[in-house]
Amino acid sequence: MASGEGRVCVVTGGCGFLGSHLVRMLLERSADLSEIRVFDLHLDESLETLGSDKVRVRLIRGDISSLEDVRGALRGSHLVIHTASLVDVWGRVPAAKVTEVNVTGTENVLRACEEEGVRFLVYTSSMEVVGPNLYGDPFYRGNEDTEYRVCHNQAYPLSKAKAEKLVLEANGKKVRGGQTLYTCSLRPTGIYGEGHGLMKDFYYQSLRTGGRVFRAIAESVEHGRVYVGNVAWMHVLAARALQDRPDTLGGQVYFCYDSSPYKSYQDFNMEFLSSCGFRMVGSRPLVPYFLLYLLALLNALLQWVLHPVCVYAPLLNPYTLAVASTTFTVQTDKAERHFGYKPLYSWEECKRRTIDWVTTLDKEGKKH
């Protein structure tokens, strides 16, 4: 990053899946920082022990939807990497809460940057600000400029799209002290790797079926996936370049990508689960799509009926079925052209690291 003494970076959501990987990456790859502030509602105390005499890791408990909390965390910092987000497309939490965290939280970060004189902001967006859409239109090897019909009905993609728009519109605005705020946005495709909650859910679901994964989606459907370590590395490089070349990166969006193969979600997960003896059942979908869609509709109806008494949030609903059934792959070199990004980890290394983690789940699962 840009040279200077006493530089402070704030990572919002720093105890989350991506955030914790990012904190470790910053410690390894950003020698000029004096302090990394990890701002989160639920703190992982182990991160604090990673600090050194040169770089302090400071944990700050706070709510992203509280302007006062955010302002306190950002005071005296020069860079914010805003990863804090509430990911929910299953109805586990109310839509209003998703919007509060993702939109109001981002508004708070931007206002705190203005009031505290913070000059640089890297935002963690999502491919879902674009798609897949509910029409099932494929996004095949698309890039940041590819035209695509965007259509969402879930709070998560809608809120991420609104938050990203706010971040990009804030680029070039004046902050306290007469300085200029520079912002950019990174859009990961489906992130995977050690600690991924959805991968863990998929593992335990498959464990309950005796290690059999019943094919539900055609093998021809392809999704872009990206390893969490490479996403963290891209954030570090983008933060560094945003400070050095703000006129190039300011106001820009970048898809996160690496050399992970394009496969359906099920087939991609089997790259790791097969190491635990799991196997895919069926070379073609075992249930016709229209039956899956009816089941998804039934789940949505049950969710609505049961809402007053309990939270019913199955993995399958009309939105998740549309996403899983629609090809969405990215092919771009914009990040490489603008700030020299190349994946830090090869596919082979990403696969090995993820398998090592899944193996720990396997040992734990067999104990129970």
Is the pLDDT at 362 greater than 80, yes or no? Answer: no
* Confidence grade of residue 275 (pLDDT, cut at 50, 70, 90): confident
Average pLDDT over residues 234-244: 97
In the prediction, which pLDDT does 1 show? 41
pLDDT tens-digit series, residues 202-224: 888 888 888 899 999 999 999 99
Between vectors from CA 102 to CA 100 and to CA 107, what angle results, nearest 5°?
80
Confidence tier at 53 by pLDDT (50, 70, 90): confident
Mean pLDDT, rounded, for 331-344: 97
Beta strands 33-40 and 56-61, pairing class: parallel
Kindly tell me the sign of the dihedral angle through the C-alpha atoms of 114, 117, 119, 124: negative
Confidence of residue 197 (pLDDT cuts 50, 70, 90): confident
Mean pLDDT in residue range 124-135: 95
- Average pLDDT in the chain: 93
135-145: average pLDDT: 95
| Structure confidence at residue 365 (pLDDT) | 55
Over 70: is that where the pLDDT of 364 sits? no
Per-residue model confidence (pLDDT) at position 31: 79
Burial class (CB in 10 A: 0-12, 13-18, 19+), 310: exposed
Any idea where the domains of the chain sit in the sequence?
Answer: 7-195+225-261+328-346
Task: Residues 7-195+225-261+328-346: name the CATH superfamily.
Answer: NAD(P)-binding Rossmann-like Domain (3.40.50.720)
CA gap 226, 1 in Å, rounded: 24
Q: Which residue has the higher pLDDT, 32 or 259?
A: 259
Could you give the CA distance from residue 287 to residue 277 in angstroms, rounded to a whole number?
Answer: 23
Catalytic machinery residues: 156
CA distances from residue 239 to 122, 247, 250, 288 in whole angstroms, order as listed:
6, 13, 11, 46
Q: What does the block give as tokens for 165?
A: 């728009």
Report the pLDDT averaged over residues 66-90.
Answer: 97
Q: Is 179 left (phi over 0), alpha (psi -120 to 50) or beta?
A: beta
CB 64 within 8 A of CB 108: yes
**Segment 268-273 long-range contacts (CB within 8 Å, at least 24 positions apart):** 268/192, 268/223, 268/225, 269/199, 269/202, 269/213, 270/213, 271/351, 272/199, 272/351, 272/354, 272/355, 272/358, 273/202, 273/203, 273/206, 273/213, 273/358
d(CA 182, CA 194): 31
Please say if the pLDDT value at position 247 is more than 90.
yes
